Amino acid sequence: MNWGRVGSAPFFEIFSLRTEGTYLNHRKRESFRQFMNKESTAGFVFSLPFTIGFFVFMVVPMGLSLFYSFCDYNILAPPVFVGAKNYIKMFTDDVIFLKTIGVTFYFALVSVPLRLVFALMVALILYKTTRITGFYRAAYYLPSIIGGSVAVAILWKRMFATDGVVNQLLRLSGVNSSFPWLGNVNTAIWTLIILAVWQFGSSMLIFLSSLKQIPVTLYEAARVDGAGKVSQFFRITLPLLTPTIFFNLVMQMINGFLAFTQCFIITQGKPLNSTLFYTVYMYQQSFEFYNTGYGAALAWVMLAIIGFITMILFATKRFWVYTGGV
């Protein structure tokens, strides 16, 4: 292929017109072109939309919410600065806070790995493109599309109800069960974990699109060496997928700790706060009890927790993530 240079010209002309008028000597133009094509300038230009977006749309609201976390604020009246009061209360005088931390860690640490394993397995199974796999992929992706709709909330409760589908299936297989899955403090969280795992579609899609990046030639070479399917998976697919696995892990961990919908639409924390997610508690504080300052403080503590976990993940990256390029 011919990597022509024609295309870059109009871009510079815009700049030269703006800065120096229509006439420019060749040299000046050349030096400007060189400046624009310097790695550092290019990086700056490319990241400019995000830089602007971050400072304009994120920094101000984030800063405000950080400020609120040091205030008594009930939305309806202006915030009053109270120092670290909210943070102190959280760690010394709030049992539910500790409870929700426990619930959230349990949920995230169980559901995220399960979800990733499922997503990867299904992606591998549906990787082969035949006319029908398109529909299979759609079927496996659908649960993620309906997401947090009311229908899911109602159905999920029906399924795990004492007289629901799950118990009926158990009875069919010989176990006489009328177990109240949703009403029991130990099992209720699992109905939410299953819901989260069921919606593995987004990770699956990302796995699917990265599987394509693995060059077919590698597999061909391996086949010539006499490697079987299993050994191909462990020697080629898995190592080359590690960057994507890492990406999914980081993203899903963040999502897992910030999970909201499952609890909000289905259990609302019942029974006995055994399924109360951190973010739902934060929401209650902010919008139901109007302790918005306290809610903001809760959010920033969560940010610190997630930030710390992400840092640890990034620190482990060099031990298991393949970075050699293809």
Partner 1 sequence: MKKRMALLMTGVLAVASLAGCGGSKTSATTAAPETTKETQTTAAAKQDGGKLTMSWWGNQVRNERTQAALDLYAEKNPGITIEGQFSEWSDYWNKLATSAAGQSIPDIVQMDYMYIDQYVKNDLLVDLKPYIDDKTLDVSNITENTMATGTVEGGVYAICAGINSPAMMYNKTLLDQNGITVKDYLTIDEFEELCRQIYKKTGYKTSIVYGTAQTYLDYFMRAYDVVLFGDKKMGGTKESYIPFFEMYTRGLKEGWLIDPGVFAEISVGSVEQDPMVYGSSPDTMSWCAFANSNQLTAIQKAAPEGVTVGMTTWPSPDPKKSGYLKSSQFFSIGAHTKNAEEAVKVLNFLVNSSDANNILLGERGVPASSKIAEELSPKMDPINQEIIRYINEVITPNSSPINPPQPDGASEVFNLLNQVQEQLCYGAYDAATAAEEFYNGANKIMSQK
Partner 2 sequence: MKTKKRMGDIVYHILVCGFGLIMVYPLIWMIMSSFKETSTIFTTAGQLIPKKFVLTNYATGWRGFAKTGFVVFFRNSFFIAVVATLGTVFSSAFVAYGLARCKFFGRKFLFVAMLLSMMLPAQVLMIPQYLWFQKLGWVGSYRPLIIPYYFAIQGFFIYLMINFIDGIPRELDEAAKIDGCSYYSIFARIMLPLITPAMITASIFSFMWRWDDFLSALLYVNESAKYPVSLALKLFSDPGSSSDYGAMFAMATLSILPAVIIFICLQKYLVEGISTSGLKG
Give residues 243-262 in contact with partner 1 (rule: CB under 8 A): none
Among residues 109, 114, 124, 153, which is the contact residue for partner 1, using CB under 8 A? 153
Q: Please give the residues from 184 up to 203 whose contact with partner 1 meets the rule CB under 8 A.
A: 184, 188
| Rounded Cα distance, 322 and 243, in Å | 6
- Total residues belonging to the chain: 326
Residue 62's binding partner, choosing from partner 2, partner 1, none, with beta-carbon cut-off 5 to 8 A by kind?
partner 2
Nearer to partner 1, 14 or 230 (CB): 14
74 counts as binding partner 1 under rule CB under 8 A = yes
Nearer to partner 1, 124 or 155 (CB): 155
Q: Please give the residues from 256 up to 275 whose contact with partner 2 meets the rule CB under 8 A.
A: 258, 260
Both structure tokens of 320:
């298991």
C-beta neighbour count of 85 within 10 angstroms: 15
Among residues 17, 42, 82, 175, which is the contact residue for partner 2, using CB under 8 A? 42
Residue 113's binding partner, choosing from partner 2, partner 1, none, with beta-carbon cut-off 5 to 8 A by kind?
none
Q: How far is the CB of 126 from partner 1 (least distance, A)?
A: 31
Among residues 179, 270, 303, 317, which is the contact residue for partner 2, using CB under 8 A? 303
Among residues 13, 19, 44, 102, which is the contact residue for partner 2, using CB under 8 A? 44
What is the phi/psi pair of residue 107, to 5°? Answer: -60, -50
Nearer to partner 1, 177 or 273 (CB): 273
- Nearest by Cα to 36 from 50, 65, 15: 15
Residue 136's binding partner, choosing from partner 1, partner 2, none, with beta-carbon cut-off 5 to 8 A by kind?
partner 2
Nearer to partner 2, 104 or 275 (CB): 104
Among residues 2, 7, 132, 135, which is the contact residue for partner 1, using CB under 8 A? 7
166 counts as binding partner 2 under rule CB under 8 A = no
Q: Please give the residues from 239 up to 258 whose contact with partner 2 meets the rule CB under 8 A.
A: 243-244, 247, 250-251, 254, 258
Nearer to partner 2, 170 or 211 (CB): 211
39 counts as binding partner 1 under rule CB under 8 A = no
125 counts as binding partner 2 under rule CB under 8 A = yes
119 counts as binding partner 2 under rule CB under 8 A = no
Return the bridge partners of 81, or none.
71
Q: What is the SS3 string spanning the chain? A: CCCCCHHHHHHHHHHHHHHHCCCCCHHHHHHHHHHHCCHHHHHHHHHHHHHHHHHHHHHHHHHHHHHHCCEECCCCCCCEECCCHHHHHHHHCCHHHHHHHHHHHHHHHHHHHHHHHHHHHHHHHCCCCCCCHHHHHHHHHHHHHHCCCHHHHHHHHHHCCCCCHHHHHHHHCCCCCCCCCCCCCCCHHHHHHHHHHHCCHHHHHHHHHHHCCCCHHHHHHHHHCCCCHHHHHHHHHHHHHHHHHHHHHHHHHHHHHCCCHHHHHHHCCCCCCCCCCHHHHHHHHHHHCCCHHHHHHHHHHHHHHHHHHHHHHHHHHHHHCCCCCC
* Binding-site size, partner 2 (CB under 8 A): 107
Q: Give the residues lining the site for partner 1 (CB under 8 A).
A: 4, 6-11, 14, 45, 48-49, 52, 74-77, 153-154, 157-158, 160-164, 180, 182-184, 188, 267-268, 270-273, 284, 287-291
